[in-house]
Amino acid sequence: RSHHRFAAIDLGASSGRVMVAHAGPDTLDLREAHRFTNRPVRTAGTLHWDILSLYAGVLDGLRAAGSAPLTSIGIDGWAVDYGLLDADGNLLGNPVHYRDTRTEGIAARAWKTVPATELYATTGVQYAPFNTLYQLLAARGSAQLAAAKHLLLVPDLLTYWLTGELGTELTNASTTQLIDPGTGDWSREVASRLGIDLGLFPPLRRPGDPAGHLLPQILDDTNLTSPVPVTTVASHDTASAVAAVPATTENFAYICTGTWSLAGLELTAPVRTEESREANFTNELGIDGTVRYLRNIMGLWLLQECLRTWSTDLETLLREAAGIPALRSLVDAADPAFLAPGDMPQRIARACAATGQPVPGTPAETTRCILDSLALAHRRAIEDAQRLADRSVDVVHVVGGGARNALLCQLTADACGLPVVAGPAEAAALGNVLVQARAQGLIRDRHEMRALLARTQQLTRYEPTGDPARRTAWDEAARRVTA
């Protein structure tokens, strides 16, 4: 057979999905077998992931994948969060959600032991309150952490339940702020100075490594035909998505859009200068030892959270927003005030009022404010990345769910003054599949992966506006807001 059948489990902040793909040297098609919502739950004041419900969704998805043989399965998901296991392998409590506020003020205390500059010079990871490092410091002294034998990042936890095997996948581990992206190994000195026990992490594995086989019980539950190998993929969803950027040249920037916008460059070595730290750029690891040099931008979360308040449909909002004059009010899409769940329209209104700008009065106006602000944040990230990494790009690839948002893509092209190539929307799942296909020897390297994507996926090109007045307006807006 020239192509094989794969399953990709891809867990996002608002939904999880199980996708089934046929992939080979000339084939790449993907269909959704099952999608399930990911709804965080607050108990006793702490925001959690409902991990058993997600796992049940994964099993439903594998059942829906059909009983034809699967060559392998791969799992990717969001970064930084983890579950703890006791010595018997039982989960100790539900994983805490990165939007929980338990890490407030923790980083500032950690920096008294290891200064922020030193921490960045080693780990290259941008400051975010939820980095695994700060979560572990927040949990220090808890009975739960004291009882823990193993720590598993979320995709690694699901892999463990499916196969019984323990491992720590490297691309995701690079988001813990405990890895040195220059060596691809743990920053042992940082960990020991901060009192973090690296022994909690099972051995590192890399994309393409085997991760065991589905346990007999799971084969029974899902009607899958044995044996079904699980392959380690780039288990950080953003790493999988970057692997699936359909670039045809070297000089590209990417924006992985979903709940977050992760905007930046693919490099061969980390950039850990002071300037880079001050600009809050991160050096996460990608496949083949590449570095994902990017900035985390609050992303479509701002809009998703508004939609929860409004219960209006997105299509209508985007149509109305497209007709509203550009750049009337802008917010800083990186402002930590927007991180936690809650009344988003009100927080945006407050931010506009506090900066003396017109306060959006309707959902469509708020939507426009969000999309303009996001496009501007994309521009700033891509400009800064080029300057800090001393590289230049001539195209911006938008992948992930936001690739379907034509208004956001056009505004991003206008703001950046560069063509935007949008798609694939299911980049994380495709990157997941392609790494599995490569592990089977069906595809040679990441360049072939990208060429296959460019040949097989439907992509949409957005040219920046040629209108000099509009270009000037974006330049002025960029000076007005810091993001």
Catalytically active residues, by annotation: 237
- Tell whether residue 296 is a contact of ligand LFR (CB under 6 A): yes
Nearer to ligand LFR, 260 or 474 (CB): 260
Give the residue with the Cβ less far from ligand LFR, 327 or 403: 403
Instruction: Judge whether 412 and 433 are in contact, CB under 8 Å.
Output: no
Which residue number, 245 or 452, has a Cβ lying nearer to ligand LFR? 245
Q: Is 79 in the site for ligand LFR (CB under 6 A)?
A: yes
Question: What are the Cα distances from residue 354, in Å, to 245, 365, 375, 380?
Answer: 38, 17, 21, 22
CA pair distance 89, 87, nearest whole angstrom: 5
Query: How many other C-beta atoms are found inside a 10 Å radius of the C-beta of residue 299?
Result: 28
Please tell me whether residue 375 binds ligand LFR under the rule CB under 6 A.
Answer: no
C-beta of residue 219 within 8 angstroms of C-beta of residue 261 = no
Distance CA 284, CA 126 (A): 9
Which one of the spans 258-266, 328-336, 411-419, 432-440 is the region binding ligand LFR (CB under 6 A)?
258-266
Asked if residue 237 binds ligand LFR (CB under 6 A), the reply is yes
Cβ atoms of 288 and 266 closer than 8 Å: no
d(CA 338, CA 334): 8
Structural tokens at position 471: 């270009």
Cβ at position 141, least distance to ligand LFR in Å: 24
Tell whether residue 133 is a contact of ligand LFR (CB under 6 A).
Answer: no
- Stretch 13-32 residues interacting with ligand LFR (CB under 6 A): 13
Separation between Cα atoms, residue 171 and residue 114, nearest integer Å: 24
- Helix ranges (H only) for 86-230 are 106-113, 116-123, 132-138, 143-147, 154-163, 170-173, 188-193, 216-222
| Interface with ligand LFR, residue 9, by CB under 6 A | no
- Under the binding rule (CB under 6 A), the answer on residue 80 touching ligand LFR is yes
Closest to 21 (Cα-Cα) out of 476, 426, 382, 455: 426
DSSP element (H, E) containing 205: strand 204-205
Identity of the residue, 72 or 259, whose beta carbon is nearer to ligand LFR in the bound complex: 259
Q: Say if CB 38 and CB 11 are below 8 A apart.
A: yes
Report the distance separating Cα 396 and Cα 246, nearest Å.
Answer: 11
- What's the min distance (Å) between Cβ of 334 and ligand LFR? 12
Q: Tell me whether residue 266 is exposed, middle or buried, using C-beta atoms within 10 angstroms of its C-beta: 0 to 12, 13 to 18, 19 or more.
A: buried
Q: Is 281 in the site for ligand LFR (CB under 6 A)?
A: no
* 298: contact with ligand LFR by CB under 6 A: no
β-pairing, 185-186 with 395-399? unpaired
Q: Could you say whether residue 291 binds ligand LFR (CB under 6 A)?
A: no
Residue 211 interacting with ligand LFR (CB under 6 A): no
Q: How far is the CB of 171 from ligand LFR (least distance, A)?
A: 10
Q: Does 75 interact with ligand LFR (rule: CB under 6 A)? A: no
Residue 260 in contact with ligand LFR, rule: CB under 6 A: yes
Residue 255 engages ligand LFR in binding (rule: CB under 6 A): no
Cα–Cα dist 299/374, whole Å: 7
Q: For residues 155 and 235, is the Cβ–Cβ distance under 8 A?
A: yes
Q: Which of 122, 168, 235, 238 binds ligand LFR (CB under 6 A)?
A: 238
Least gap, CB of 432 to ligand LFR (angstroms):
13
- If binding is defined by CB under 6 A, does position 403 make contact with ligand LFR? no
Q: Which stretch binds ligand LFR (CB under 6 A): 75-83, 340-348, 388-396, 461-469?
A: 75-83
Number of residues that bind ligand LFR (CB under 6 A): 14
**Does the footprint of ligand LFR cover residue 179 (CB under 6 A)?**
no
Site for ligand LFR in 217-236 (CB under 6 A): 236
Of the listed pieces 163-171, 259-267, 346-354, 438-446, which binds ligand LFR according to CB under 6 A? 259-267
> Considering the rule CB under 6 A, would residue 98 count as an interface residue with ligand LFR?
yes
Binding stretches for ligand LFR (CB under 6 A): 12-13, 78-80, 98, 236-238, 258-260, 262, 296
